[in-house]
Amino acid sequence: MVRSVKQMLEEANAVVPKITPDHAQAMMAKGNTLVLDIRDAPEVAATGKIAGAVHVSRGMLEFRADPELPSYDKNFAGDKTLILYCGSGGRAALAGKLLHDMGYGKVYNAGGFKDLADSGIAIEKPT
């Protein structure tokens, strides 16, 4: 069955709640969260990332999130709330659905980096 990007985004948005920057900050303040920047490396290098976020590009996400693989990133360990963001929210939605399908239970789409940065959330500047 052929599916369009529009259909994939609709499916993703149905299972991955979209949250506001303020809601993301409140969730982060409570702790036990993993904030994931899933943009490509050149994007992160150009703008920086949310303070404390872990950069895992969307193309490597499955390999970092699967505890059975040698490339597993231990930041995914435990029952953390996962907050994803990208450039505008589309990749975060698709990546969030993928993590949901992999069994991660608390996955949220915080949208785009610019909206988060404009909200006053702390940013780690590029080096």
Please state, in angstroms and as integers, the Cα–Cα distance from residue 3 to each residue in 11, 59, 90, following that order.
Answer: 10, 19, 16
Which structural domains are found in the chain, ordered by start? 5-122 (3.40.250.10)
pLDDT of residue 118: 95
pTM of the model: 0.94
pLDDT of residue 68: 96
Rg (CA), the chain: 14
What string of pLDDT tens digits covers the 127 residues of the chain?
Answer: 788 999 999 999 999 999 999 999 999 999 999 999 999 999 999 999 999 999 999 999 999 999 999 999 999 988 999 999 999 999 999 999 999 999 999 999 999 999 999 999 999 998 7
What is the residue whose two structure tokens read 């994931």?
A: 36
Its sign, for the CA torsion 98, 100, 106, 108, is positive
